[in-house]
Amino acid sequence: MELKNKKWTHDEFNAIRKEVLTHWPTGSEVNFEEAVKYHENIPAKRHFAKRLVKAKNNGETLTQPRAGVALIDEHINLLNFLKNEGEADLLPSTIDSYTRQNQYKEAQNGIEESLKAGRSLLNGFPAVNHGVKGVRRVVESVDAPLQVRHGTPDARLLGEITIAAGYTSYEGGGISYNIPYAKSVSLERTIYDWQYCDRMIGLYAEHGVEINREPFGPLTGTLVPPSVSHAVAVIEGILAAEQGVKNITLGYGQCGNLVQDIAAIKALEQLADEYMAKHGYNDTVLTTVFHQWMGGFPQDEAKAFGVISWGAAAAALAKATKVIVKTPHEALGIPTKEANAQGLRTTKQMINMLKDQSFPMTKELEIEINMIKAETRCILDKVFELGNGDYAVGTVRAFEAGVLDVPFAPSKFSLNKILPARDNNGAVRLFDVGNLPFTPDIVAFHKDKMNERAKAEGREASFQMVIDDIYAISKGNLVGRPR
């Protein structure tokens, strides 16, 4: 395995594909030529990439939940409920934890126990075990665009089966499905394995079948500064484009300050266009996804609806192409289908009320956009330099040096030196910039913002602010003020 950001040849890909399809017996059901013909007959209204392009052109913000259960019929019923009762525009199949760890035997046991119990005993849909035939039953029973959502470091077989079955969008990436999810899986390994996934989707594109790819934007979902998540998003977008992916959705997790959140989506669009063009990927369609608050939620359902509504408003005013919706059961565990639909309808109502309104380009918003772009460029350009012109190699070296760093990540390959906290207006800043390659004026900007809050609160800027902010929203606030 030699890691480099270079498109794999057909021979390189096919040599590995033979081995990947043996990882579980259902791999034998994958027939690429048959899958291409099947995709050619999927109507536009059920095609993820086409629906996103239509939304982007029309200025729409589409809604999408998370959802998945163990058994096929129950999964079909769940998705149709969320479409009909939740008014969801796009639908997911969220994959179970065993499949995410490639533990297909345990997933099979979960299916069998679920059949005995008459209810799902898995926290998602075990697509690999159901195979192409089983997964295609879902595709043919749900009249909406479908995406695979998971959290899998090695998602090669999952990708082969679900795309062959007719799914038209695939989430994840070699950085975003490693650093926030795994402890001891090397970046070289996951970036390489996700090059396989991207090359597979690139092969479909070569045969006229456009599959949407979506790196996971929020990362750890806890006070992640926009520039950190944007840097990862742009890198994963570039890695996908190099392997031939033509339709990419880049994501961002809500921080909570409205101006910063709107600025983040606008900056992400501009940075993605800039860096894709800079490196010659001019035929890639780019869209955005806004994730409603990924941190701790209030247990009180009424308060949870407040958090959901705020995320919906931010997504609508930012003009994100789609929004990933939370539920009022977020603090309690896996939601009921009714609670999931409630979150969707709440979001849809807010989007519909705001769709004809625009947020003015204020001086504050302009400053925020420019700061996010400046910070992100510092990181991206240093990664490119460390890799001697190769983003794949540079990413590995950047994490080793702390040039790329994700706060509160479980991975031992992230230095975890940066410490985010909110400023006096609730925007996410850096209490400690760690080894991020920021210019002195950017470092000073963050320090000034933290000192401004400290003065307002009558206390020293300290690690306690970080702790207070992590729990603030679940306790009913945005900024973790001292009592």
* pLDDT of the residue at 258: 98
For the record, the structure tokens of 129 come out as 């075990």
Mean pLDDT of the region 5-34:
98
Share of the chain above pLDDT 90, in %: 99
What is the per-residue pLDDT across 271-285, written as a single tens digit (0 to 9) for each? 999 999 999 999 999
Share of the chain above pLDDT 70, in %: 100
- Which are the catalytic amino acids? 100, 171
What is the per-residue pLDDT across 27-83, written as a single tens digit (0 to 9) for each? 999 999 999 999 999 999 999 999 999 999 999 999 999 999 999 999 999 999 999
- Rounded to two decimals, the pTM is 0.97
Q: Is the pLDDT of residue 454 over 90?
A: yes
Q: Is the pLDDT of residue 473 over 80?
A: yes
What is the per-residue pLDDT across 171-201, written as a single tens digit (0 to 9) for each? 999 999 999 999 999 999 999 999 999 999 9
* pLDDT of the residue at 483: 83
Mean pLDDT of the region 422-429:
98
**Band (227; pLDDT cuts 50, 70, 90):** very high
* pLDDT of the residue at 333: 87
For the CA atoms of 74, 75, 76, 77, what is the dihedral angle to 10 degrees?
A: 50
The amino acid at 338:
E
Q: Is the pLDDT of residue 393 over 90?
A: yes
Q: Is the pLDDT of residue 1 over 80?
A: no
* pLDDT of the residue at 83: 98
Mean pLDDT of the region 415-432:
98
Q: Is the pLDDT of residue 164 over 90?
A: yes
Q: Is the pLDDT of residue 360 over 90?
A: yes
Distance CA 246, CA 202 (A): 7
